Structure formats: C-alpha cells, structure tokens
Amino acid sequence: MSEEKLYAVKNDVGKYWDFADRDDFWVLSFASCPTTDNEKDAKDVVHDYGGHIVTFVEEPEKVVVSPEEAELVKNCLLANLQDAFLNNINLLFRGRRPEDITRLKSALTNGYTVAKEKKYNVKVPHAVNSYFKKIDANHCVAGDTFIFDLDEHLAQFTESEIEQYGLQDCEKEEVTDDDD
C-alpha cells in the first residue's frame, strides 16, 4: 500500500490555514479546505505565515492471521528482552513460506486481526446421545451433552469438529456472516 498523506498547517493559537482561499488561518470549522496533498504547499505556508505542519497518514489495513500466528505475533510485541524477542521472532518465522513471512512482518508493524474459523451447517443423520448443544429448534453446536435426535436438523461445526466427530460425509454448507 502506498502511503497517502494529507497536510494541514496549524498556528500557535490552534487555527488552520485555508488552502482554498489562501488568505489566513481560521478556526477549523470555518476553513473551507484545511488540508492539501502537496507537502511543498504546506511548507511554503509555514515559511511565509508561520505555524507548523500537521500530517495525516491513512492507517494501514490490519493483517489477518490465524489464532496460532496471533499468539506468536503478540509474544513478539510483548517481549521486553532482546533474547526473548529473538526467540519469539525465530518461532514466528521458522519454516514459513516467503509470502507468509512478508504477511507476518506486516502484522508486526501494521497490526493484526485474528481470522474467524469457518463454520458449516452440517446435516447430521440420526445423532442421539451425541455431544451437541442445542441453540434453537433447528441448530446445535458441539459442546455439552444433549440427548437430541438431530434427524433432518442442522448443526454448526468447524472443520476440525467435523473431522473430530467423523461427519466428513455429511451434507454441509458454509455459514456466512448473515447466517451467524
């Protein structure tokens, strides 16, 4: 992502230069155009009229990481000793593909968000005395024991839960944010 910036010039009494009228400093709410994308214009105003430049930089997009990667990135960011930091960095990058290393470097510098694990609505054929938790009349999730005949009912599971419960052959449909 290229770094796009906007510049404003603010004087000592908290007023901003108006780049539209180019005639004076105004309270921010009265300035027609208090910013410019041209750094030279902002520097010229400071040179000719005083004040200082305020730079606005668009916040970079956070990188999506897995829960395991998030834990490693967090450990790197929280390490307060050089040895601990180097050990955590080594764990984070060890055995990764170059594109993953680039992505994780961005997560360290730009911030990160943890990816939600995909869930699926799974049509579970006749599952009585199984480990499911009833959400409502038609939906269950893995969890506490609940004696319930799931014939023709849907249950929500992650990929790992589908494998764990041996439901790979069941009909499944990915849950979208609208379904959640």
Edge-to-edge strand list for the sheet holding 16-17: 25-26, 16-17, 5-10, 52-57
Q: Which residue has the higher pLDDT, 106 or 144?
A: 106
Average pLDDT taken over every residue of the chain? 79
pLDDT recorded at residue 129: 43
Q: Is this prediction's pTM over 0.75?
A: no
pLDDT recorded at residue 92: 86
Model pLDDT for residues 69-87, shown as the tens digit of each residue: 899 898 888 887 888 888 8
For 22-31, 46-55, 164-173, which range has the lowest pLDDT when averaged over its residues?
164-173
pLDDT recorded at residue 149: 46
d(CA 39, CA 61): 24
pLDDT recorded at residue 156: 76
Tokens of 179: 């379904």
Q: Which residue has the higher pLDDT, 162 or 144?
A: 162
- Where residue 111 falls (left for φ over 0; alpha for ψ -120 to 50; beta otherwise) is left
To 5 degrees, how large is the angle CA 72–CA 77–CA 79? 90
Q: What is the DSSP pairing of strand 171-174 with strand 5-10?
A: unpaired
Query: HEC string of 29-94?
Result: HHCCCCCECCHHHHHHHHHHHCCEEEEEECCCCCEEECHHHHHHHHHHHHCCCHHHHHHHHHHHHC
d(CA 168, CA 154): 14
pLDDT for residue 89 is more than 70: yes
